[in-house]
Amino acid sequence: MTGVREQISDVGIGPRHLAGILGVPEDATAIVVFAHGSGSGRNSPRNNQVAAGLRKAGFATLLLDLLSEQEERDRGNVFDIGLLASRLAEAADWVHARREFAMLPVGYFGASTGAAAALVAAAERQNVGAVVSRGGRPDLAGAALRVVAAPTLLIVGGADLPVVPLNRAAFAELRCEKDFVIVPRATHLFEEPGALEEVIEHAKGWFRRFLSSPLTGSFGELVFADRREAGRRLVPALMKFGNDDPVVLALPRGGVPVAFEVAQALNAPLDVVLVRKIGAPGHEELGLGAVVDGAKAQVVMNDEIVRAIEPSADYLEAETSRQLAEIERRRQLYRDSEAPVDIAGRTVIVIDDGIATGGTMRAVVKALSRAGARRIVVAVPVAPHDTIESLTAEVDEIICLIEPEPFFAVGMHYRDFNQTSDREVVELLRRAKGNGGRP
């Protein structure tokens, strides 16, 4: 928890110099931008109370008037969700442009119609780490709900009878990480004793969970909290493929949590590409090639390494058979006899939790090309620069968030790099299928 000391200042936000109140505690770990409801603004006593609670938990806060005084005179503007969302996007840009906040994750806290504006802004810009709605009207976000990637918490008063079903309907449309909380006996404004304090506790917990400030490693490079956070950070760069009827393929096991977040954001089917490295004798991490599953298993060898190592034909045959057996085990476990997603003629986004030498990914790309993929995009959170360069000519596009030099290991760029279990893979594939990605 941060210290009590904090700086509170009046600021002008964005090109329109919208009036705002910026509160920054010592050692802020993230910043939360507030989106107010109709008829409210930066001086809202309830949102200021929530903001004070968040600052005590280590979050900077920005409360701003989304409309100028002249704009507020037109009541149509007050309910123009698209306009309000654009102002929130301007506020996020303003935050990122300030040196002291450039590396801080940004979250939105929306109340009433401001909740819809926050969700639309999060859907359109994808640079928001988390969203919390208090007594909101998320239903007014419409089709944007299905595109929101930021983890979203909806908080509703139990006595706010007209709004509860609207929130339940919106919750069902959301495809991101989400939760729904009802504060018993609270009405729309949460004026009951203890109600707003409960909102603050839920908001703090949600933002602590999802607005993890990026850490830096020994060489000043970005460190991801875990694989799922890495996936959420990949989303903005991949949203442009959302209308291409994409298929998201993960390299198991570590690539599945990363790919799950991308598939949810793109409303795309998630599947695994079953591939196993053929390791060198006595040095399993050195890849002689790889076996890639498909209608017919494909063996892709690295001829340069094979020539250097000169493994025996018997070794290659035995090692290939061993890896095929493991592929068969995973096929039965992960797919339960279901056929893989058809990739012929489609855009395929291939995801792993990172790349080192690139040998396995290169084998996958070649196999997918042979299988008829129309467009192949490789997306990873981290890889060495020379590996990315070597893969560029073999795919239609490659996206990598960080390319550290020198590069030592993928795991150095994650706080939590525990091995992904088969159980987690199965569960995420089940959830992806249940959330209705396009076939």
Percent of the chain with pLDDT strictly greater than 90:
51
Residues 274-316: tens digit of each pLDDT: 888 888 887 776 778 888 887 677 787 878 788 888 889 999 9
pLDDT higher for 336 or 218? 336
pLDDT at 256 over 80: yes
* Distance separating alpha carbons of residues 241 and 34, to the nearest angstrom: 30
Compute CA distances 359 → 48, 185, 287, whole Å: 53, 59, 7
Residues 32-51: tens digit of each pLDDT: 999 987 767 898 999 999 99
Domains of the chain: 6-213 (3.40.50.1820), 222-434 (3.40.50.2020)
Rounded to the nearest 10 degrees, the angle between the axes of helix 45-56 and helix 195-210 is 50
pLDDT at 411 over 80: yes
Residue 372 neighbours by CB distance under 10 Å: 12
Q: Show the tokens assigned to 168.
A: 């339940």
Residues 82-109: tens digit of each pLDDT: 999 999 989 988 988 887 776 788 999 9
- The pLDDT-based confidence of 353 (bands split at 50, 70, 90) is very high
